[in-house]
Amino acid sequence: MDYKEAYETWLNDSYFDNATKEELTKIKDDEEEIKDRFYRQLEFGTGGLRGVIGAGTNRMNIYTVRQATQGLANYIISQSGQDKGVAIAFDSRIMSPEFAREAALTLNANGIKAYLFESLRPTPELSFAVRKLGCIAGIVITASHNPREYNGYKVYWEDGAQITPPHDKNILAEVAKVTEFSMIKTMDYDEAVSKGLLTVIGSDIDDAYMEELKKQSIHPEMIKEVSKDIKIVYTPLHGTGNIPVRRVLKELGFEQVYIVKEQEEPDGTFPTVAYPNPEDAKAWELALKHAKEVDADIVIATDPDADRLGVYAKDTNTGEYVSFTGNMSGSLIAEYILREKALKDTMPENPAIVETIVTTDMLKAIAAEYKAELIEVLTGFKYIGEQIKLFEENNTFNYVFGMEESYGCLAGTYARDKDACVAVMMLCEVAAYYKLKKMTLCDAMNDMYKKYGYYKEGLATITKKGMDGAKEIENIMSDKRSNPPAVIGEYKVLKVRDYLKDTITDMGTGETEPTGLPKSNVIYYELENNAWCCIRPSGTEPKIKYYFGVKGDSVEDANKRMEGLKAALM
């Protein structure tokens, strides 16, 4: 069926509601819009769905959500997991409650129990709930930090992490088999409740989650020493972080926490920001204005589903607020945890830190300092979560901390996904530690550079939308794969890792060895002088991403090297 036939089916089939048909009627003369909405089925990738909200096969709507859920249900039944059930959470985005409810009812119609949160919750709490409730799987409706027109659907397995092999490929295959809407089951909400198939969950899980967060604090007594002195400005960016972040900070004893009122309430239109992403400088305008008014020590933002943490800290030397990348804030937390556990003699045997391949190399130096194993995984926090499971199954290492460059980290093993709630509380504890030493986070970061080296990382993206854009991205990756460079800028290429081919090629000898990681469309260049760069398509947006990392002799030198490497690769 081509895109025109698919459009006509949606326009005329009685299966689709009147609101959907009205929306599609309005675009009847817009050939390009019809093509974009129907040229493909919204792809169920290795993590789930993500796309623009609207009517059509290439859009997020109740029909594509039901279709994905029917495939998931079929797989759960094949694994005899229907009695374990599925936990479902959702964020503040447009249509999130509706999509969550539709997913629950499709599961219920297939005889699978569903545990649906009563209202919006952070993504990491869903990860926690899956294991707390003993579920076979979990679903969270979110598009994370994407623009307001997006929504998404992420799937978790019984270990609490996003789906990894073999489950991701198997679920994807089951979803692909659901080719007709007549194959999809659903049922009435009240009937599902009365039959015991649908259970609404809330405060019991919240309380248990909160207790796990607080267990990660290393020096709660220290927080109380500076609770009246340290000033924190926080914005949830209209998302799910408002209640849990404020609650954990309050219960730990922080007394001067100021909320950005204009961004406090959940709102899927994100009225005060064009792009609700802590990585975007424009998202910080209101928070920084408020920070200056109250003379805050640190300024914190979480993204809409509260799995990413953004930070600014005051530099007392200049009086200005300085932005911290995810690599910087994560490194501060990592060193604090390792150092203080070592000093308190609470470090577990065989400690391990896990990071993705595009995360800062400073973490390698920190791990070496405290004799912790450093394990690298593919981009995506699900691979960090998977390592926790493997450590436990194989009795190899004890997970201490994990992080990725894209503003995500996890302290503890209560969840298996990045958690901005625990990241906020840990970073505030780090700030309290340095406050007692009359230091700021900026001072602490400068000390880390002096100790471990001046590491600098960067990210650049190119957006390529639509069917033609997808082809362009494919061509870029194919060209890079076929023509590996010998030199990038001032750096000689030592090795090329092609994760799709599962090869590491020594550019000097031509010898190859396996990467040891799952296949993925990623190319990584190991460069001389502790530099590196990496190219991969985004798994959630129509973008190709370029990552860079260098080590300099000073902040200025690192910045100069970074810009040179970026210009050469781009």
Whether residue 160 is found in the same domain as residue 232: no
Whether residue 328 is found in the same domain as residue 398: yes
Whether residue 461 is found in the same domain as residue 349: no
User: What is the distance between the alpha carbons of residues 316 and 552, in angstroms, rounded to a whole number?
Assistant: 25
**The predicted structure's pLDDT at residue 426:** 98
User: What is the distance between the alpha carbons of residues 415 and 138, in angstroms, rounded to a whole number?
Assistant: 12
> What is the CATH number for 538?
3.30.310
Please check whether residue 463 lies inside any domain of the structure. Answer: yes
| 144 counts as catalytic | yes
Please check whether residue 30 lies inside any domain of the structure. Answer: no
**The predicted structure's pLDDT at residue 540:** 66
Name the amino acid, one letter, at 532.
Answer: W
Whether residue 275 is found in the same domain as residue 243: yes
Structure tokens at 239: 């998302």
Whether residue 104 is found in the same domain as residue 230: no
pTM of full prediction above 0.85: yes
Whether residue 181 is found in the same domain as residue 303: no
Pick the last residue of a domain from 419, 447, 475.
447
User: What is the distance between the alpha carbons of residues 502 and 489, in angstroms, rounded to a whole number?
Assistant: 26
- 140 has which bridge partners? 89, 154
**The predicted structure's pLDDT at residue 425:** 98
Q: How many CB atoms are located within 10 Å of the residue 506 CB?
A: 13
Whether residue 375 is found in the same domain as residue 439: yes
Whether residue 48 is found in the same domain as residue 165: yes
User: Nearest Cα to 252, choosing from 280, 225, 217?
Assistant: 217
Domain span at residue 309?
210-447
Q: How many domains does the chain divide into?
A: 3
Whether residue 368 is found in the same domain as residue 226: yes
**The predicted structure's pLDDT at residue 223:** 96
Residues of the chain with pLDDT under 70: 540
Whether residue 254 is found in the same domain as residue 333: yes
Whether residue 241 is found in the same domain as residue 369: yes
Whether residue 242 is found in the same domain as residue 353: yes
Q: Among the options 144, 217, 329, 331, which is catalytic?
A: 144
Strands 137-141 and 298-302: unpaired
User: What is the distance between the alpha carbons of residues 563 and 160, in angstroms, rounded to a whole number?
Assistant: 39
Please check whether residue 21 lies inside any domain of the structure. Answer: no
Q: Are residues 150 and 52 in contact, defined by beta-carbon separation less than 8 angstroms?
A: yes
Q: Are residues 119 and 89 in contact, defined by beta-carbon separation less than 8 angstroms?
A: no
**The predicted structure's pLDDT at residue 217:** 97
Pick the last residue of a domain from 153, 183, 201.
201
Pick the last residue of a domain from 395, 412, 447.
447
Please check whether residue 291 lies inside any domain of the structure. Answer: yes
User: What is the distance between the alpha carbons of residues 458 and 408, in angstroms, rounded to a whole number?
Assistant: 16
> What is the CATH number for 87?
3.40.120.10
